[in-house]
Amino acid sequence: MCKKGIAVYLRVSTTGQDLASQEPDLKAWLRGNRKGRRVTWYRDTFTGATMKRPGMQDLEADIRTGKIGTVVVWRLDRLGRTVLELLTWLDALDVAGVEFVSVRDAVDTTTAAGRPTLPCHGPIP
């Protein structure tokens, strides 16, 4: 059986910014955690005001088709702007069985300690 791949997602807001500043930490994480899995890089130069970004849409399509087992970002703010957006997206990953790592924020659902960082499914009782 083929292991599901790792998705590395990078984003900057404007063409005047550079994605390269995010790469060293992400590459360091991959060196210690890749374990022979395929790595696909998804890059956006796009506002964080919307989750409808070209790279994000490609990533979501690959998650839906089962190609991705882990999503790695440099920091949570590279993924989304609001807590609600982030929690909704992280919950969707959890439902899809996809692990999540934010290198700089020390969020890692690939570990037992990181699992409780995800929200519960549905409303708070």
Describe the crossing of helices 54-64 and 83-96 by its angle, rounded to 10 degrees.
30
Question: b/e for 10-49, b at 16 or more Cβ within 10 A?
Answer: bbbeeeeeebeebeeebeebbeeeeeeeeeeebbbbbebe
Place 125 in a pLDDT band, splitting at 50, 70 and 90: very low
Tokens standing for residue 101: 């790592």
pLDDT digits (tens, 9 = 90+) for 1-23: 458 999 999 988 877 677 888 89
Provide the pLDDT for residue 20: 84
Domains and CATH numbers, the chain: 5-117 (3.40.50.1390)
List active site positions. 13
On the question of pLDDT at 41 being above 70, the answer is yes
Specify which residues 108 forms β-bridges with: 101
d(CA 108, CA 121): 18
Question: 61 Cβ partners below 8 Å, 6+ apart?
Answer: none
Task: Report the distance separating Cα 31 and Cα 50, nearest Å.
Answer: 31
Residue 91: which pLDDT band, with cuts at 50, 70 and 90? confident
Question: What's the pTM?
Answer: 0.84
Inter-CA distances, 41 with 4, 30, 31, 113, 122, Å: 14, 12, 15, 26, 31
Mean model confidence pLDDT for the chain: 83
H or E, element range at 25: helix 23-33
